Amino acid sequence: MTLFRTPFRIIRTNSRAYLGVNILIYGLVIIGFALGLVFPDLAHAQVDRLDEGGTTDLVLSLLSNAWLFALVILGVNSLRVGVLSIILPSMIIPFAGALLFAYSSLIIGITLAPTDQAGWVALIPHSLTVVIEFQAYVLLVLGAYLLGKFWLRPRTIGAVTHRQGYHRGLQHAGWLSIPAVSLLVIGALYEAFSLIYIALPMVRDLGA
């Protein structure tokens, strides 16, 4: 319980920033989703990009093993998105990861926009995946924000030097990564099993 008590204390202490990050990230997903609906060519372009990049083929090859599919999803979400896109850039340039993921949120929203009836049906179970996984990203972005804030303004965390502020910011980001990883694990399991056992049968029934 101690592992989660400290992250929740950090969230309570920075409740305004936490609320702001939620509004920003989920808001950009919704805006991207709306853009994808209004301009279907944007959504088609993102789907084509996934096809050309091999993501679609990778997903299809994993549909026979839900556990392996969940493991791959977790690896992509935690390493490529969480570490490489949010945390690592923020350790080099203040707020860089937050800005990068803000842009990614818009693109993901466009990609989620259904282009046919089957897409709408699949979105029903997948919408919960978005809520779970993006809440994990919100926590990581909050950590990136606090890292940048304490780094540039160390006195806000009671530090004297920028180096001390940087270290305190890293500590906060590390604590927030604990519930974030937990959510990513839950999200990966739900995404894999819901896609294979709920979304795909619903789509097949639609075409039957």
What tens digit of pLDDT does each residue of 5-54 get? 999 999 999 999 999 999 999 999 999 999 999 998 988 888 788 777 77
Domain of 192, in residue numbers: 10-207
Q: What is the number of structural domains in the chain?
A: 1
- Does residue 86 sit within a domain? yes
- Does residue 3 sit within a domain? no
What tens digit of pLDDT does each residue of 141-187 get? 999 999 999 999 999 998 999 999 999 999 999 999 999 999 999 99
5 burial via Cβ count (<10 Å: 0-12, 13-18, 19+): exposed
- Does residue 146 sit within a domain? yes
What tens digit of pLDDT does each residue of 88-108 get? 999 999 999 999 999 999 999
In terms of Cα–Cα distance, which of 171, 151, 148, 165 is closest to 95?
148
Question: Rounded to 5 degrees, what are φ and ψ at 54?
Answer: 90, 0
